[in-house]
Structure formats: structure tokens, C-alpha cells
A and B are shown apart, each in its own frame.
Chain A
């Protein structure tokens, strides 16, 4: 067998093999169909070439030559048709025209001698064809079609990106080399002494096409090719084993040919082969899978696992992490990340990444470069541009925009496969299916995350507002304290000079070293009592202010009211004696009262003090008690000026102005108009009542106030009788009598 015979046989086997696979995989696809037609015409051209080369008679050589040319004629037609179906838009007229022309050439070739005029020996060939007149035209058109089709393929290669660019690159390479190799046949037709040494190059297109199929997913038949390679390997191994076994057995063990034994051996071997075939097949399939499909997995199982993750995780970080982790482990990817956008804002909300060496940071501008593309962006499929540079910079192979209802949620980016391979179709399909699902899941988690973050912000805001309020409250309290302090200090400061005036007026009146005239004595006396009134007014105003602002507390105790009254009588005795008043308390058996002793002391001082002030010298003041078991009433009866009926009701009002006669006495006696108001307030605070009775002017008056008895029930309900001060508890200023 010479080179031409061998190369034509190899060409036939490879080309027909490729043609069959491409056709069988998808006969309805035009690209597959036209490509297999092309491959078959190459294959049968090669087969006819083979028969031509082994022909021993001129007639059979001529016959095979015509057949050979018949197939060669259709190579450019199918080539063009294939390229047309690749570029997807073409003119049918051109196709019809093409097929017509080449069909005419076929007729001329088969039935006339205008195509192949005859055969003659040339160089090492016994029956080389001589061109007929039509052959020249054919060769011209043939070359034109090849050049035109290749040009179209080149144009497609130029304008396409990604996978198609890679596919067309290898197709172009194969076609260029194949046709160049094939066209070495035409030199000898014109007597040019160039042998058709390029025949074997024709098979290059098979190799590059196969490469484009496996590496760049051309025609989508990778699995078939891979399986075929597996079976071919299987075939070779079995054959080698079978043949060598046969050889060994027949040559050495059996010596001469023993038909029976040989049959026995073959039978044994066949059984062995049959038994081992399947295991071997599985092993080889695994091996080829490893080579062609590194990291194979079950897509359905992976997608279902991812669905479970997405449906059971709401935390954004966890969700993204688990999805990424699963993808990376199953697809054997070096690294990956989710870039999540802020809603309605051109900003990156969060980035969850796995496998990136340092924490991945991406600006919105960088990320947004991917958004215009709905399809999965594959690094290998991109032509050199900004996007490819960006992906190179980030060291990522895949970018997939995540969208929900045309709204971009974020971006899924994946690094290269751990194997360094390109992403197989399976991965890309899984990503296509996964992307919308994961986009919805991420959006949900994002909402949840935002609500959570909003809650945190809200809590902080509330905390801040609360602390602001607390600060404001503290400031108010400080201000209140400041005000109280001011009032206290101011009243103290007021009282000091007033005390001085009072003291010196008293000294002038009582310690004068010269006798005073009546007039001077009257002036000094009025100065003295006016000062006393002023001092009492300041004290009473302080007390009113404290009661009204809630700074006075009631701390109830069970105590003997009679004892307290006796103490007060003792306190005011000097004053009463000054006016020669008879002051006495009637003795009764009394239950203990339940009240604040300090406040009751204040009330008693006020009421008894009033009686002393307003009674006439030599008058009689009697303090009496009454009890019904629930309350104790304390009444202070004087023999003073009394109160007119119309003035009785006004008496407990603040600054109550009574008619002239009373008020003149009140002022001359040092009354402030506030004492009874304070007493009424204090009695009220202690669950009691205060009233006044008078038979009329000059008939004296009786002031009566009540206090609750310290019953068991009252003692147990102490909280009902307690009054807490709103701010700092303030005592009351002592009332002068």
C-alpha cells in the first residue's frame, strides 16, 4: 500500500465517521445535515480515490476517476451550504443556482468525456486523468466557491464572539489546510510535476472540527465524540488483546495449526472478552469522562439540592454562602461570589464571596458592566474588550446577571474551573436554570435583610430618642432643681435683711436709751408687724409653691393627736400669754389618727395661731375633739371677731380678700391670706376635711378639720394615704405665729 492508497483510506474512515456522528446526533439541524453531507462527499471522494489507486485496468481506473470527481464536484456546494447555515441568513437563489451548476458538472463528468478526457501515466501514477474542456471551467468555479465559502466563514469568525469565534477559528484552520492539501491533486492534471502529497492534510479538517466540537461545543455533540473515542479505544484494546492472544497461542503453545484446539482457544477468549467487556467498557467510559467531562455531576440532583437551600434559608449571607459553596463543590470551581445590589439605588448592597484571596470589593460601576447581558457571560467566549479585561482583572470566568421581572438584583460571578478547563455545557445549563430561581431567593432574603437592618436602625433610633429624652428630662430636672434652689436661696436672702429690720425695729422699740414719743412708738410698731407679715408672706408663698408643684410628700403614721395638740399649745403659749388669752384643749379618749404629723403640726400652728391673732385680748380659745371611730375631728374655737356669712365661703381661697373689717384685722395681725389655703390643701392631701363655722361677726368662729383614724384597714392600705413628691421632697417652711 503506498501513501496515496493509505491516506485516501484514512481520509475515508475519518471523514465518514465524522459525517455519521454529526448526522446521527441531529439530522434535522441544517448545520449538522450540510456538514455531514460535506463530510460524506469528502469521504466518498477518498473512497473512490482508494479504488482508483488500486485499479489495475484503465477502464476501472477511469470509472473510479469519474466517481471520484462526481463526489469532488459536490464538496464546494455542500461547503457553501454548510457555511450558509452557519451564518444563518443566505440567498436560496444562490443555493439553487449552485446545486444546478454542480449537477450539470456531475452529468458532464459521468456521461461525457468533456470532464475527464482520459487517463495517462504520469510520474508514479499509471492512470492519471487528462482534463476535458469543461474541467477547466469546473476548476475555476470550484476554486471560486471554495474561496467564497472560506471568505464567508472568515467573515463570520471576524464578527462573532465567544464560542462561535473559537469554533469558526478551528473550522477555518481545518478547511484551509484541508483544501490546500486536497488541491495538490490538480497540478498533475496540467502536467505540473507536483505530486498530490497533501492528501492526508484533508483529514486535518476532521481533527480540527472534532476539536471544535469537544473543546468549544461545536454542534453540541461532545458526548458522542467522547463516547466514540471510548468505544474506539475499547475496540483497539480488544483487538490487540485478541490478535496477540491468538498469535501467542497459535505460535508457541499449539505449534502447528490445530483447528480444534484453535477453536477452543477462540471460544475461551470470546467468553473472556464477553465477560470482561462490560467492566472494561465502564472503566474506559469513566476514563474518557474524566478526560472530557472533568467533575461530572447530576444536574437534576444539583438543582434540587440548590432549591432546597434556597427554600430553607432566609438569611442573605447564609443563603448566598450555601448556594455558592454547593456550586463550587459540585462544579469544581475555584471561587465564586454574589454581588447584591441595593434596591432602587445604584449601589452595591453586599458581596458574599468564597475562595477569593482577599475580601472582594467591587464598585457599582464595575458590576454594572455585566448588566446589559441577559445571557451567561463566559470569559472564553468574549472577544478582547473592556468586559473581558474586567473579568481578567477579577480573575473570573463566568458572570450571570440575576434578574427578577427585568429588575437587576445582582450578579453571580464564578472563577475558573479547578481543572483549568472551560465551563462545560452542563454547568452553563444549570446556571441558566438556577439564575432566575436564585434571583428571587436573593430578592426575598434582601427584603428580609433590609427589614432586619431597618429594625436595628429603628431600635437605635428609639434608643437615641429615649436617651435624648432622658437627657432633656435630666436637664429639666436640673433646671427644676436650679429653680427650687433659686427660690430657696432668694427667700433666705430676703429673710435675712427682713430679720435685720425686724430686729432693729424691736430694739428701737424695746431697748431705746431715750424715751420714745407715742407717735414714734406707733411708727416703729407698725414697721415691726409689717416686717413680720412680709416674712410670713415669703414663707407661705414658698409653701404654696411647694404644695402646688407636688414637691410636698405625705408620709402617714399612726399617732396620738392629743399629744401633738398639747405640744403646739406649749409652742404658742408665749404668744397667747402676751394677749392674755386662755388657751386649753379638752380631754377625750381618742383613737390614734393616721396622718403625717409634720403636716398636722403645720395645720394646728396655722389654725391656733390664727385664733391667737384674731381673738381679742383676754379671749378664750378652746380646742375640742370628736370621733366616730372612722375620723377624728379637731376644732379650734375662739371668741374673736367672727366671720360674716358671705365671707365664710371665700375663707379658704388663695389670697382671699375679705371685707374691710376682717382684712384690716387680718393685716394688722400679720395674716398673709395664704395660711388657710395651705391648711385646706394639707388636710385634703391627708383625706380630711376642713370647715369653718361662725354665728356671725363678733360672735367668734370655729375651725374644724378631720383626719382618718388609724384603723387596721387604713394601716394596711397605707399606699392609698401616701403621696410621693414629684421631684425632690421638700419640707414646709415653719409658719410664724
Chain B
């Protein structure tokens, strides 16, 4: 549990999954915001103010790669803290591209148990400079 000031944005189009992550993370005391498509996701990520962003890749309207590109191009930069890709795309090439575009982490949903996801997120938040 933490003091309730850590804000996490979940960019995820699958309702069951975002509700799951929301429940999982809210129970840990994080403040959760959700974007259900790429466009809203991009707006929120670029607006900033999050300690951590969980970003899916395959999203309606605008995919996660594009959001990462826009974020990288943004001059003020890095206002959304840690960006962790959370997706089911497990190809090396995609993973490499995401890291090249500035993602701080890459988690494959299907490969991890929820407690593993939690552990990773906690890990990222402690490593993050503003966490």
C-alpha cells in the first residue's frame, strides 16, 4: 500500500482487462486513470501528470507505437514518468522498437501472472526518478 498519490494511466481497449488492471492496482492504493482507445490514450499521455503509464500496442484509432513516437517527439518530454508497454505482442522486433522509442519496460500480458505484473510495476516505480 502507498499513500495514494501515485497516478497510473492504463491505456487498454479491452474492457475486461482494463477493469482487471484497475482493480488490481487500485487495491494497491494507486490512483488509476483509463484510456480505452489510442486517441484518448495519446491525449492523456501527452498531457502528462502520471507516474506510470501502462500502454497497450494494438489499440483502436491510434496504436501504441504511434503514441510512443508522439511522446518521443514531444519537446517537454518525460512528463508522464515511466512508460511500460503492457501488451500481448511478443515479437522481438516489436519489443526492440518500443525500447528504441523510449519505453521503459515491456511486459507481455499473457506471459505474466497478475502478481508478476504487480511486482514489475512496483519495481518500475521504485526505479523511476519521480516515483
Q: What is A's interface to B at a CB cutoff of 8 Å? A: 488-489, 492, 495-500, 502-504, 506-507, 510-511, 535, 539, 574, 598, 729-736
B111 near A731 with CB under 8 A, answer no
Q: For the complex, what is the distance from the CA of A506 to the CA of B27, rounded to whole Å?
A: 15
Which B residues are in CB contact (< 8 Å) with A489?
58
Q: How does the 8 Å CB contact mask read for B23-49 relative to A, with 1 for contact and 0 for none?
A: 110010000000000000000000000
- From B14, B16, B20, B94, A731 is in contact (CB under 8 Å) with B94
Pick 17 A–B contacts, CB within 8 A, sort by A: A489-B58, A492-B89, A496-B14, A499-B17, A500-B17, A504-B16, A504-B20, A506-B113, A507-B114, A510-B114, A510-B115, A511-B23, A535-B111, A731-B93, A734-B90, A734-B108, A736-B108
A734 near B111 with CB under 8 A, answer yes
B58 near A492 with CB under 8 A, answer yes
Known contacts A503-B17, A729-B93: A736-B111 contact under CB 8 Å: yes
B23 near A507 with CB under 8 A, answer yes
Q: For the complex, what is the distance from the CA of A539 to the CA of B108, rounded to whole Å?
A: 12
Which B residues are in CB contact (< 8 Å) with A488?
89, 91
Which B residues are in CB contact (< 8 Å) with A729?
93
Known contacts A539-B90, A729-B93: A500-B20 contact under CB 8 Å: yes
Which A residues are in CB contact (< 8 Å) with B24?
503, 507, 511
A730 near B90 with CB under 8 A, answer no
Q: For the complex, what is the distance from the CA of A732 to the CA of B58, rounded to whole Å?
A: 18
B20 near A535 with CB under 8 A, answer no
Which B residues are in CB contact (< 8 Å) with A730?
91, 93
Which A residues are in CB contact (< 8 Å) with B16?
497, 500, 504
Known contacts A503-B114, A507-B23, A510-B115: A732-B91 contact under CB 8 Å: yes
Q: Is B3 an interface residue (CB 8 A)?
A: no
Which 7 residue pairs are nearest across A and B when measured between Cβ atoms? A731-B92, A731-B91, A736-B111, A495-B88, A733-B90, A734-B90, A535-B110
Q: Is B128 an interface residue (CB 8 A)?
A: no
With A498-B110, A500-B14 already in contact, 13 other A-B pairs whose C-beta atoms are closer than 8 Å = A500-B20, A502-B113, A503-B17, A503-B20, A507-B24, A535-B110, A731-B93, A731-B94, A731-B95, A733-B90, A736-B108, A736-B110, A736-B111
Q: What is B's interface to A at a CB cutoff of 8 Å? A: 14, 16-17, 20, 23-24, 27, 58, 88-95, 108-116, 119
Which B residues are in CB contact (< 8 Å) with A500?
14, 16-17, 20
CB-based nearest B residue for A506: B114
CB-based nearest B residue for A734: B90
B91 near A507 with CB under 8 A, answer no
Q: For the complex, what is the distance from the CA of A497 to the CA of B95, rounded to whole Å?
A: 21
- From A496, A511, A732, B92 is in contact (CB under 8 Å) with A732
Interface of B (DSSP majority class): helix
Q: For the complex, what is the distance from the CA of A733 to the CA of B114, rounded to whole Å?
A: 20
Which B residues are in CB contact (< 8 Å) with A503?
17, 20, 24, 114
Q: For the complex, what is the distance from the CA of A733 to the CA of B89, rounded to whole Å?
A: 8
Q: How many A-B residue pairs have CB under 8 A?
A: 71
Report the minimal beta-carbon distance from A571 to chain B, rounded to whole angstroms.
11
B109 near A495 with CB under 8 A, answer yes
Which B residues are in CB contact (< 8 Å) with A535?
110-111
CB-based nearest A residue for B93: A731
Report the minimal beta-carbon distance from A600 to chain B, rounded to whole angstroms.
12
Q: For the complex, what is the distance from the CA of A730 to the CA of B92, rounded to whole Å?
A: 8
Which A residues are in CB contact (< 8 Å) with B93?
729-731
Q: For the complex, what is the distance from the CA of A500 to the CA of B108, rounded to whole Å?
A: 13
Report the minimal beta-carbon distance from B35 to chain A, rounded to whole angstroms.
17
Q: For the complex, what is the distance from the CA of A502 to the CA of B20, rounded to whole Å?
A: 11
Q: For the complex, what is the distance from the CA of A636 to the CA of B112, rounded to whole Å?
A: 24
Which B residues are in CB contact (< 8 Å) with A492?
58, 88-89
Q: For the complex, what is the distance from the CA of A733 to the CA of B110, rounded to whole Å?
A: 11
Q: For the complex, what is the distance from the CA of A499 to the CA of B112, rounded to whole Å?
A: 9
Q: For the complex, what is the distance from the CA of A526 to the CA of B99, rounded to whole Å?
A: 35
CB-based nearest A residue for B96: A731
Which A residues are in CB contact (< 8 Å) with B58?
489, 492
Which A residues are in CB contact (< 8 Å) with B111?
535, 734-736
Q: For the complex, what is the distance from the CA of A502 to the CA of B119, rounded to whole Å?
A: 17
Q: For the complex, what is the distance from the CA of A497 to the CA of B20, rounded to whole Å?
A: 12
A499 near B109 with CB under 8 A, answer yes
Report the minimal beta-carbon distance from A594 to chain B, rounded to whole angstroms.
19
Q: For the complex, what is the distance from the CA of A433 to the CA of B108, rounded to whole Å?
A: 94
CB-based nearest A residue for B27: A511
Q: For the complex, what is the distance from the CA of A587 to the CA of B17, rounded to whole Å?
A: 43
Q: For the complex, what is the distance from the CA of A502 to the CA of B111, rounded to whole Å?
A: 10
Report the minimal beta-carbon distance from A464 to chain B, rounded to whole angstroms.
37
Which A residues are in CB contact (< 8 Å) with B92?
598, 731-732
CB-based nearest A residue for B88: A495
Q: For the complex, what is the distance from the CA of A732 to the CA of B116, rounded to whole Å?
A: 22
Report the minimal beta-carbon distance from A210 to chain B, rounded to whole angstroms.
105
Report the minimal beta-carbon distance from B109 to chain A, rounded to whole angstroms.
4
CB-based nearest B residue for A598: B92
Q: For the complex, what is the distance from the CA of A500 to the CA of B91, rounded to whole Å?
A: 20
Report the minimal beta-carbon distance from A527 to chain B, rounded to whole angstroms.
13
Q: For the complex, what is the distance from the CA of A506 to the CA of B111, rounded to whole Å?
A: 13
Q: For the complex, what is the distance from the CA of A735 to the CA of B90, rounded to whole Å?
A: 9
Known contacts A492-B58, A496-B14, A507-B23: A502-B110 contact under CB 8 Å: yes
CB-based nearest B residue for A498: B110
Which A residues are in CB contact (< 8 Å) with B113?
502, 506
Q: For the complex, what is the distance from the CA of A731 to the CA of B108, rounded to whole Å?
A: 15
Which A residues are in CB contact (< 8 Å) with B90?
539, 733-734
Which B residues are in CB contact (< 8 Å) with A496?
14, 17, 88, 109
Q: For the complex, what is the distance from the CA of A539 to the CA of B70, rounded to whole Å?
A: 30
Report the minimal beta-carbon distance from A504 to chain B, rounded to whole angstroms.
7
Which B residues are in CB contact (< 8 Å) with A506?
113-115
Q: For the complex, what is the distance from the CA of A733 to the CA of B108, rounded to whole Å?
A: 10
Report the minimal beta-carbon distance from B106 to chain A, rounded to whole angstroms.
9
Q: For the complex, what is the distance from the CA of A84 to the CA of B90, rounded to whole Å?
A: 114
Residue in B94, B110, B113 with the greatest tally of chain A CB atoms within 10 Å: B110
Known contacts A574-B116, A734-B108: A507-B20 contact under CB 8 Å: yes
Report the minimal beta-carbon distance from B79 to chain A, rounded to whole angstroms.
29
Which B residues are in CB contact (< 8 Å) with A735?
111
Report the minimal beta-carbon distance from B77 to chain A, rounded to whole angstroms.
28
Q: For the complex, what is the distance from the CA of A492 to the CA of B90, rounded to whole Å?
A: 9
Report the minimal beta-carbon distance from B34 to chain A, rounded to whole angstroms.
15
Q: For the complex, what is the distance from the CA of A187 to the CA of B16, rounded to whole Å?
A: 144
Report the minimal beta-carbon distance from A542 to chain B, rounded to whole angstroms.
9
Report the minimal beta-carbon distance from B72 to chain A, rounded to whole angstroms.
22
Q: For the complex, what is the distance from the CA of A336 to the CA of B58, rounded to whole Å?
A: 78
